[in-house]
Amino acid sequence: MERSYSLLLLFLALFSLKSFNLLCSAADPTDGFTPVPLTEANFVLQKPYNGLDCSSGVWQFEGYGFVPNGTSSVTVAQIHGAFHGATTLILRIYDGNMRYYSGDLVATDPYDKWFRLNIIHDVDGGRLTVFIDGEERYSTHDQGPGDLYFKCGV
């Protein structure tokens, strides 16, 4: 247990949830979104996880992460809630690779460097898109509608 804490993913939650009416191809995945800054007024760790209604529209998570070398089987980010299961997205580190759940490859060699993570969830369109450092790295269908909320880190 103590080892897992020492390997804890260092994840700064410099994040914001953003809503937008249409997904568009842009140089930066945040183009066109309205930021909701993280402040003392809206930050209570994991609570209230349901403070925003994410059941429709297009939402975006942005955060910065750092994965220490050798870390494995840890979660970087999640979208909780789905029609078909408990989550609609989990990004995890397995043996030096970031994967969608434990399957599809999202990014390689995330160790020992800071990266910017953006996740766009088009709830109405049923689509998830993952960006690493502004580059689209993965896209897939979601797991269906549900009581959705973003979560970052272990």
Q: Is residue 72 part of a domain?
A: yes
Q: Is residue 29 part of a domain?
A: no
Whole-model pTM? 0.72
Q: Is residue 35 part of a domain?
A: no
User: What whole-number distance in Å separates Cα of residue 110 and Cα of residue 94?
Assistant: 10
State which of 2-6, 10-14, 19-23, 72-76 shows the largest mean pLDDT: 72-76
φ, ψ at 144 (rounded to 5°):
95, 165
Q: Is residue 122 part of a domain?
A: yes
Q: Is residue 32 part of a domain?
A: no
Coil, helix or strand for 23? Answer: coil
**Exposed, middle or buried: residue 154 (CB in 10 Å: 0-12, 13-18, 19+)?**
middle
CA 140 to chain centre: 14
For residue 117, what are its two tokens?
């993570």
pLDDT digits (tens, 9 = 90+) for 39-87: 777 655 555 555 676 788 899 999 999 999 988 899 999 988 888 888 9
* The residue to which tokens 């804890």 are assigned: 8
Identify the CATH number of the domain in which residue 123 sits.
2.60.120
Q: Is residue 101 part of a domain?
A: yes
Q: Is residue 77 part of a domain?
A: yes
Q: Is residue 63 part of a domain?
A: yes
The count of structural domains within the chain is 1
Domain limits for position 120: 2-24+52-152
Q: Which residues of 38-62 are buried (b: 16+ CB within 10 A; e: fewer)?
A: eeeeeeeeeeebeeeebeeebbbbb
